[in-house]
Amino acid sequence: MRKIVIFLSALLLLPSSGVGRTQTAGPQSAQQVVQSGVQPAAYSLPPETLRRAVAYSHARIVLGMVDSVWGIAQLLLILTLGMASWMRDFAASLTRSRWLQCLAFVFQLCLVTTVLELPVEIVGHHLAVAYGQSVQGWASWLGDHGLNFVVGLVLMTPIVMLLFWVIRRSPQRWWLWFWVAVIPIMVAGTWLTPLVYDPLFNRFDPLQKAHPELIAPLEQVVARTGVAIPPERMFLMHASDKVTGINAYVTGFGPSKRFVIWDTSIAQVTPEQLMFIFGHETGHYVLHHIVQGMVFSVVLLLLFFWLGYRTMRWVLARWGGRWQVPSQNDWGALVVLLLVLSCIDFLAAPIENGFSRHIEHAADVYGQEAIHGLVVNPQATAVSAFQHIGESYLEDPAPNPLVEFWMFNHPSVARRAAFAQSYDPWAPGGRPRYFRK
């Protein structure tokens, strides 16, 4: 079902900016690391941990590639086998109400793709458990998938109905009007995600209630940055119920804006390292990365919809008869559009991830500058934080450059640690990027 809501996630659930997680990559030689400018000494793993990290990274890369290809192939399979037309006919036979037809068609499509994706999802969870990345039991995992199915169905049905209403009203310009219509949906989704969606899958507590001793050092960072994140906007997420990795993130918009830190982070890093992580996250707000991310998504989505419209018309003219999907007004055209958007999204991954890496690097710089004068050695603090992050996620210290370019939404931990180790704008001749000397 994840592939079905590929554009819905862009509309409603913009990814939160997190300090912890990147995509993992495959093995690379030490010589290549030196040639790429990464200092291996900044982030390294002991031999046995390194072996596990390389094996886990390789497995995740292969699984990620299989998942991407299979996500596209399953939509093509649904069309080629005539399942899209069968689901359309079944929905039409149930009722004459277009709302109910839409619900019936979306339900069938979500159900079929969920079943088709399940083997890949099961392998992914098995790997996470086997390599100590997850502690979530299978019953809880299946429960999350079931809940996600229901949430996806509830969110997707009205948006699909809106899409086909716009297509019927403006066959030539629906891509533009639908884009205009979803902009307020994106804003509302960003605002509602931490209030409605996130609590469905994780437990949250006010940080000042769970760990009041952390408020004072974090408030020191707040005073340096000037951003308005009062203690009541700081939350602890009980990530240890399901995972073992370290993370923190900022999310929300306006009144729902908040800082969230995982309980696993508090258990594994020092207060000084938490100050750096918090400085990184406040950097996202001070540097307006949430707004920039929304603008970037809006612009990219316009391009996606225009390309989707043009490509879908060509695909329907060539194969629509064979698939028994005669026009873009047909419910089955939803599968065609999702197939087209999935292909476009796959090709656009380097652009999306490149933008994400850019703002994450800027937040790293901001975080390291923000703790200057608050900790004894900002460079060592940042490097040690990245060391903990890399160890917790079993990230390969030498990721393949092509995989990093295509798949990483954060710079690799090796690059981040190496930069932190060498970055000292307070030294003679140096010039801080965001804070005055």
Distances (CA, A) of 22 to 120, 126, 273: 20, 19, 18
| DSSP label at residue 248 | E
> Is the model's pLDDT at 9 over the cut of 50?
no
Residue-level pLDDT at 110: 95
The dihedrals phi and psi of 111, each to the nearest 5 degrees, come to -65, -45
> Is the model's pLDDT at 20 over the cut of 60?
no
pLDDT bin (cut points 50, 70, 90) of residue 21 is low
Residue-level pLDDT at 19: 60
Angle at 374 between CA 373 and CA 375, to 5 degrees: 95
> Is the model's pLDDT at 91 over the cut of 80?
yes
CATH number at 204-284:
3.30.2010.10
- Kindly provide the b/e burial profile for residues 96-116, where b requires at least 16 CB atoms within 10 angstroms of the residue's own CB: eeeeebbbbbbbbbbebbbeb
pLDDT bin (cut points 50, 70, 90) of residue 255 is confident
Residue-level pLDDT at 276: 96
- Distance in angstroms (rounded) separating the CA atoms of residues 140 and 87: 30
Q: Write the CB contacts of 107 (distance below 8 Å, at least 6 apart in sequence).
A: 153
- Tell the residue number behind the tokens 């098995």, with chain if given: 126
Instruction: Tell me the mean pLDDT in the region 284-304.
Output: 93
Cβ proximity of 396 and 24 under 8 Å: yes
Segments of the chain assigned to CATH 3.30.2010.10: 204-284
Residue-level pLDDT at 18: 60
Residue-level pLDDT at 314: 97
> Is the model's pLDDT at 436 over the cut of 70?
yes
Which pairs from 372-380 meet CB under 8 Å and 24+ separation? 372/426, 372/432, 372/435, 373/224, 374/217, 374/220, 374/221, 374/224, 374/275, 375/272, 375/275, 375/276, 376/272, 378/276, 379/420, 379/421, 379/422, 379/423, 379/424
In a 3-state reduction of DSSP, which class is residue 253?
coil
pLDDT 10s digits, 94-134: 999 999 999 999 999 999 999 999 999 999 999 999 999 99
- Distance in angstroms (rounded) separating the CA atoms of residues 286 and 278: 12
> Is the model's pLDDT at 198 over the cut of 80?
yes
- Distance in angstroms (rounded) separating the CA atoms of residues 122 and 136: 12
pLDDT bin (cut points 50, 70, 90) of residue 228 is confident
Cβ proximity of 275 and 218 under 8 Å: yes
pLDDT bin (cut points 50, 70, 90) of residue 415 is very high
Residue-level pLDDT at 36: 38
Residue-level pLDDT at 139: 97
Instruction: Tell me the mean pLDDT in the region 160-168.
Output: 97
Share of the chain above pLDDT 90, in %: 83
pLDDT 10s digits, 320-369: 999 999 999 999 999 999 999 999 999 999 999 999 999 999 999 999 99
Q: Model-level pTM? A: 0.88
- Distance in angstroms (rounded) separating the CA atoms of residues 342 and 268: 38
The dihedrals phi and psi of 408, each to the nearest 5 degrees, come to -80, 125
Residue-level pLDDT at 354: 96
The dihedrals phi and psi of 18, each to the nearest 5 degrees, come to -120, 150
